[in-house]
Amino acid sequence: MSRSSTLAYIAPFCVLILLLGLAQGIHSSSLSLQLSIVAIMCSTMALTARRVLEDAKLMRVRNWPGTVLIGVLVFAIWIAPDRIFPGYHTAWPFNNPIMGRASAVPSGPPGAGAAQAVRALRAVAVVPIAEELFWRGWLMRWLIAADFEAVPLGAWSALSFWIVAFLFGSEHGRYWDVGLAAGVIYNWWMLRTRSLGDLILTHAITNACLSAYVVFAGRWEYWQ
């Protein structure tokens, strides 16, 4: 296993987290910022992950109907608590110094229409690739064996399954509960399909549904 092999799976995610942290720090949703994030991410993936992304064996979608259904299901789970119990994620278990504070729900959209479109593009076309390479392409296998490429995609280990699910949930701050549910479902789907292509596609469908919901329902808090 070479260093470049590891970078292919972890570099896009690390760069994404860094960029999103910087964007949050400057409190900007401008078009130029959104375009910069997408451009940097595309460059990073082209430089570090091209070999993996061009591997037809890893990226072939094996179960189109199931993958689409799983993507929509995770979206439904994501919004269900706040639909059923308005203000659900402002309760203490989700709104605290550890998981993050909920700022006031914005009265208007973050940025102009073009900025929103690019942000949605980022959520659909960039984030799923970076996250799935890291969480289920690398970490889920690396926790089984340091030579992770010798471990087949979707190999079962209770320890790796639950560590990845919990860390994936914690990555989503005050939405950690639905993030954990999503992590469990995505991990299970990886066990079933053994394909990064299926996981990237189902994650992209979830994010596409959520982005459409944010824009058309005006639920901007999901983009805070």
DSSP H helices in the chain: 3-26, 31-48, 50-53, 56-59, 64-84, 113-121, 127-132, 140-142, 158-170, 176-193, 196-217
What distance in Å separates the CA atoms of residue 93 and residue 20, rounded to the nearest whole number?
24
pLDDT at 213 over 80: yes
Mean pLDDT of the region 162-173: 97
pTM of the model: 0.94
DSSP summary character for residue 153: T
For 127-165, how does the pLDDT look when each residue is reduced to its tens digit (9 = 90+)? 999 999 999 999 999 999 999 999 999 999 999 999 999
With contact defined as beta carbons under 8 Å apart, do 141 and 151 qualify? yes
pLDDT bracket for residue 103 (50, 70, 90): low
pLDDT bracket for residue 102 (50, 70, 90): low
